[in-house]
Amino acid sequence: MNAGASGFRLSTHGILLRGMLFGKIPNTARTMRALRRNVRSIAPMFLKHLECSACGLEHESSRLQNLCRSCNKPLFAIVDLVAASRTLQRERLRTRDKSLWCYREVLPLPSHVDPVSLGEGGTPLLRAEKLADDVDLWIKDESLNPTQSFKARGMSAAVSMAKYLGATRLAVPSAGNAGSALAAYAARAGLEAHVFMPRDTPRANVVECRELEAHVTLIDGLITDCAAEIARHKAKEGWFDMSTLKEPYRIEGKKTLGYELAEQLNWQLPDVILYPTGGGTGLIGMWKAFDEMETLGWIAKKRPRMFAVQAAGCAPITRAFEAGAKTALEFSNARTIASGLRVPKAIGDFLILDILRKSNGGAVAIKDEEMIRVGREVGAKEGLFVCPEGAACFAALKLLRRDKTIAAGQRVVIFNTGSGIKYLEAY
């Protein structure tokens, strides 16, 4: 923040406040509004700018925008970590409310603005003993979020920013859970939600979106067709496109998965992370969080081996990883009951593949029958009714243990990204 400017604003604020206290300026609504405006301008702002994840081009963060204006790739929020560290200290996190907004200084919303929140984040990290397969296995159970999935994290951050920057009509293509989360946060914010989902999206998501008063359009096609439909109409309809990684702040909410995990493991990252990957936003977000935390001096250099877990019926990242490619081809005839993994083409493919390789991780694909079989086993042995996407990670662990890609004794974290209750047709 510009010190000269803030000094001037501070003195204006002081004059107003003193004038009110000593009765020289009447305590009217107008004076209060002026005061509030001043609080706004002196409140610290930790978001510096947006930066293209591919070409590095800087974009200012003060307006609504989607992709890089030069190369059309995702934009990342760059936070002033030096400024953030003045008030955000890892030892003091426990004194803050249990919510992802406890990492407020590294999140994009200016500190004077109230987030659009439904109590997201702060989910449990559970030890799994019966399914551990000779590893030190932990489950990050994201089904306890509002609307029962980790999509709440991204939408809390993104809807907060969209509202702050003046959007009123929000649109999203969704495999199901992102639609539900947008519907909930938009309702909370008093904004319009327009959700485009494939016709065969789990019924729970469709009903939930409608009950939350979102405008729901069912499309005969995949999430990519839903995205294309939004792209065709958004300018005319005045919709702000909330597609994952096509707007810069859902990833900021998702990166708190990484902050929380580090905090829950006492600032020692695990050896391995298994993440059910569709668009890859959580995986990319966690990687960003690890870099930020290292800069903050919160964690060491060591990174977990990151594994993308996909469905055999839609595995563009697994195929590209195995082929040694830098980007992924669109996966044709995508079919899987794990609707969140039915993403035939991810805009962040190059980022996901880079992380998998840099971390000495990998990518695996799991058949639907195996997801359901292992999902039942997780329920019976650990007491969690996991989503098929989460179940796929448990199946992936079996596979990676069998071929010794993951050695015995390693600390492994599985993300159960949502609740099985949303997938009654599949179970």
C-alpha 114/C-alpha 112 separation (Å) is 7
Binding partner of 419, given Zn ion, ligand PLP, none, CB within 5-8 angstroms per partner class: none
SS3 assignment, position 343:
coil
For position 123 contacting ligand PLP by CB under 6 A, the verdict is: no
**From candidates 121, 258, 279, 313, binder to ligand PLP by CB under 6 A:** 279
Q: Which amino acid is at 354?
A: D
Binders of Zn ion among 73-112, rule CB under 5 A? Answer: 73
For position 173 contacting ligand PLP by CB under 6 A, the verdict is: no
Instruction: Report residue 9 CA to chain centroid gap.
Output: 35
Q: Of the listed pieces 2-10, 41-49, 174-182, 184-192, which binds ligand PLP according to CB under 6 A?
A: 174-182
Task: Write the CA distances from 35 to 1, 4, 21, 98, integer angstroms.
Answer: 19, 19, 13, 30
**From candidates 74, 276, 316, 344, binder to ligand PLP by CB under 6 A:** 276
Do the bridges between strand 192-198 and strand 215-219 make them parallel or antiparallel, or are there none, so unpaired?
A: parallel
Q: Compute the least distance from the CB of residue 57 to Zn ion, in Å.
A: 5
Q: CB nearer to Zn ion: give 50 or 413.
A: 50
Binding partner of 304, given Zn ion, ligand PLP, none, CB within 5-8 angstroms per partner class: none
Residue 67: half-sphere exposure toward Cβ, Cα within 13 Å: 14
**From candidates 179, 370, 389, 401, binder to ligand PLP by CB under 6 A:** 389
For position 52 contacting Zn ion by CB under 5 A, the verdict is: yes
**From candidates 244, 256, 310, 336, binder to ligand PLP by CB under 6 A:** 244
Q: CB nearer to ligand PLP: give 115 or 316.
A: 316
Q: CB nearer to ligand PLP: give 38 or 174.
A: 174
Q: CB nearer to ligand PLP: give 123 or 244.
A: 244
- Give start and end residues of each alpha helix (H) in 73-167: 81-87, 151-164
Q: CB nearer to Zn ion: give 55 or 408.
A: 55
Q: Of the listed pieces 173-181, 192-200, 309-317, 378-386, which binds ligand PLP according to CB under 6 A?
A: 173-181
Q: Compute the least distance from the CB of residue 174 to ligand PLP, in Å.
A: 7
Tokens encoding 103? 């990492």
Binding partner of 277, given ligand PLP, Zn ion, none, CB within 5-8 angstroms per partner class: ligand PLP
Output the DSSP codes for 281-330.
HHHHHHHHHHHHHHHTTSS-S--PEEEEEEETTB-HHHHHHHHT-SS-PP
For position 70 contacting Zn ion by CB under 5 A, the verdict is: yes
For position 277 contacting ligand PLP by CB under 6 A, the verdict is: yes
For position 68 contacting Zn ion by CB under 5 A, the verdict is: yes
For position 71 contacting Zn ion by CB under 5 A, the verdict is: yes
Binding partner of 256, given ligand PLP, Zn ion, none, CB within 5-8 angstroms per partner class: none
Q: Which residues of 191-218 are buried (b: 16+ CB within 10 A; e: fewer)?
A: bbbbbbbbebbbebbbebbeebebebbe
SS3 assignment, position 391:
helix
SS3 assignment, position 280:
coil
C-alpha 296/C-alpha 117 separation (Å) is 26
Question: Crossing angle, helix 203-211 and helix 177-189, to 10 degrees?
Answer: 10
Residue 67: which of 225, 258, 227 has the closest Cα? 227
Q: CB nearer to Zn ion: give 70 or 360.
A: 70
For position 278 contacting ligand PLP by CB under 6 A, the verdict is: yes
Residues in contact with ligand PLP, counted by CB under 6 A, come to a total of 18
For position 340 contacting ligand PLP by CB under 6 A, the verdict is: yes
Binding partner of 71, given ligand PLP, Zn ion, none, CB within 5-8 angstroms per partner class: Zn ion
Q: Where are the beta strands (DSSP E) in 107-168?
A: 125-128, 136-141
Which residue has the closest beta carbon to ligand PLP? Answer: 340
Task: Write the CA distances from 54 to 20, 43, 107, 170, integer angstroms.
Answer: 51, 32, 21, 26
Q: CB nearer to ligand PLP: give 46 or 423.
A: 423
For position 68 contacting ligand PLP by CB under 6 A, the verdict is: no
Which DSSP letter does residue 247 get? Answer: B
Residues in contact with Zn ion, counted by CB under 5 A, come to a total of 8
Place of tokens 């059910």: 276
Interacting residues with ligand PLP (CB under 6 A): 149, 151, 175, 177-178, 244, 276-282, 340, 387, 389, 417-418
Interacting residues with Zn ion (CB under 5 A): 52, 54-55, 57, 68, 70-71, 73
